[in-house]
Amino acid sequence: MIAERTRSISKIPYYSTGTLNELELDGYCDFGFPIGAHDVSFDDDDDDDCPSPRSSMSPSTPPSTLWSFASTMPRVTSSKLMLKSSRLDEVVRSFARCFAERGRGRDVDAGRLLRAIRAHLDLMRSVGGSALCLVCRDLENNLNKAEAVHGRMRASTSTTSSSYDREEFGTLASLLEHERMRDPGLHAGNALGESSAAMGLLWIRRSLAFQSHLFESLIPSPDEYEYDEDDAMSSSSSSSSGGRRRRHPRDAANEAYQLHLAPYHGWMLRAAFPASLSQMPSREVFLSKFGEVELDDLDRDAEYVIVRKLRALVSTLEPLLMLWRESYERLDLEDTRKV
């Protein structure tokens, strides 16, 4: 799905919004693929200023194959992409830096992950308003749990001899294993301790999956835009013209909630969350907050740049959440109880 949308949007010419700050994108390709996830090359067709991505991998490529490209992919700088530095840029860069390789395996860097989540929380507070207040509050509570445990464990390894190599200890899997071994009574099988980092990170993963689903709804689908002969971009307003009406973020948020959070919520949260999500703003308001622009300034060019960044965020989160879930399943920490 992500790759299909990328191919569609990449055909839209890039429109410069003026001289923007130079920004090194340390961890991701602006066209929506994290470094190491796709073999992307750039093709200059008729417009030298409009490189379009081509991926030699299909959307169904397994994470193990995607990871093999991590050491060979080049970085893409904004001298070609012309991005404005913003909180959204920082969040994408932060999550893209979380991928770690240890020996012959792959994992998630725990410290970088926690820092990325903290940056993401700050972004969501500025974007979501009252509609996402419960999501942000829940995210912060769970992040505090994980940060407290991670901080104590790092302090203990820096002052005492330990069988855990400090580099190895820095991964998500080693953090979860070390917490369980340090306090054998903390979990009862895969029924996780309420104050544990494992519990906090489990709910954070579910929350990010929910949010990623919501963000994806803001990205145009292949049939949402049509071109005229002058390369003007216009929104298709009806299915009879080959397009479809854009969904309101409220509807997308409720769908994402039912898929990613509702299965683990009891009746009280099942009532509270949809009520909060019903206050979601329009797509235009949402995009303007992500782009840090006034609503009146959200023209075609600004929307295009913001959508590209959101596509980068979604496609960076996808493989990260896969690795995250793999770690939990491998360690039998996937707690499916309702709260």
Domains detected in the chain = 2-13+25-221+247-330 (1.10.3520.10)
- Residue 292's region, left for phi above 0, alpha for psi from -120 to 50, else beta, is left
Rounded distance, CA 139 to CA 180, Å? 22
Residue spans of alpha helices (H) in the chain: 2-9, 63-67, 78-81, 87-96, 110-128, 133-159, 166-169, 172-182, 197-216, 249-260, 267-277, 283-291, 300-330
pTM across the whole model: 0.73
pLDDT per residue, tens digit, the chain (339 aa), is 444 433 333 333 332 222 223 333 433 333 344 433 433 333 333 443 333 333 333 444 454 444 443 333 333 333 333 445 589 999 999 999 999 876 556 789 999 999 999 999 999 999 988 999 999 999 999 999 999 999 888 887 766 545 444 555 689 999 999 899 988 899 999 999 999 999 999 999 999 999 999 999 999 875 554 433 344 344 433 333 333 457 899 999 999 999 999 999 999 999 999 999 999 999 999 999 999 999 999 999 999 999 999 999 999 999 999 999 999 999 999 999 999
Rounded distance, CA 126 to CA 140, Å? 14
Residues 306, 312, 314, 315, Cα dihedral to 10°: 160
- Whether residue 334 contacts residue 260, with contact meaning beta carbons closer than 8 Å, is answered with no
